[in-house]
Amino acid sequence: MAYQRVEVLRGTERRRNYTPAEKVRMVEGAFRPGVVVTDVARRLSAHESLLYRW
């Protein structure tokens, strides 16, 4: 059985804030040779444009 991470956002802010360390880890994982950025972004629950922007 596969589990997915679920995040509950409370309050008026609907965006998730990533720490600089999280951003680095995500970008490094997404831009390895042979990796599809879209698949990594979907798995991380982030939009692929964020990975390109960071």
Could you read off the pLDDT of 1-54 as tens digits, one per residue?
677 777 776 777 667 788 899 899 999 988 999 999 999 888 888 889 988 998
How many other C-beta atoms are found inside a 10 Å radius of the C-beta of residue 30? Answer: 22
* Amino acid identity for residue 48 in this structure: E
Per-residue confidence (pLDDT) for residue 1, from 0 to 100 = 62
pTM of the model: 0.64
pLDDT reported for residue 18: 85
Enumerate the domain spans of the chain: 20-52
**What's the pLDDT score for residue 2?**
72
